[in-house]
Amino acid sequence: MYDLLFLLGLIALGYISGTLIEKRHYRRIHEREKAFLSLPAVTVKSVDYPDEKIASAHLVTGSVVISIDYFKKFLAGLRMIFGGTVKSYETLIDRARREAVLRLKEDAGDADVIVNLRIETSSVGKNAHKKSVGSLEAVAYGTAIKLHPDA
């Protein structure tokens, strides 16, 4: 009986701590997104600025690796058996992509716009080739453009 209560306690502790960590990360993401609201990152490949108005253009990147906790991985496994939306993986991908874009914007410095934004994701870990997600890597890259002040 004590073993079962201990196991249930560990499961509850894993669920609660994983949820709190995820919520804290989302709060930090929201705060940083507000700070970078004035720096657009767009998917267009070129800009309509004449060459003489562009002061500089350089590659910027942002990458992150985010892990899923064991409780959510267990629930995702059950969801895959019975079918349906795997919300724990959806939030994992959402957090990874948004964090990668924020790190890209931090790398852009004083740029005015980021063009040709691309985001790529991949599974990371020893079971990545077996369709078992433990960690997810997201890489965002683009071209940061700084305009002349008189533009």
Domain boundaries, the chain: 2-147
Which pLDDT score is estimated for 126? 62
Question: Quick one: which of 70, 87, 78 has its CA closest to 134?
Answer: 70
Which parts of 5-90 are beta strand (E)? Answer: 54-67
> What is the residue whose two structure tokens read 């560990």?
10
What would the CATH number be for the domain defined by 2-147? 3.30.110.70
Which pLDDT score is estimated for 96? 94
Each of the 151 residues of the chain gets a pLDDT tens digit; together they read: 888 888 888 878 888 888 898 899 999 999 999 999 999 999 988 778 888 888 999 999 999 998 877 777 777 777 778 777 777 788 889 999 999 999 999 999 999 999 999 999 998 876 655 556 678 899 999 999 999 887 5
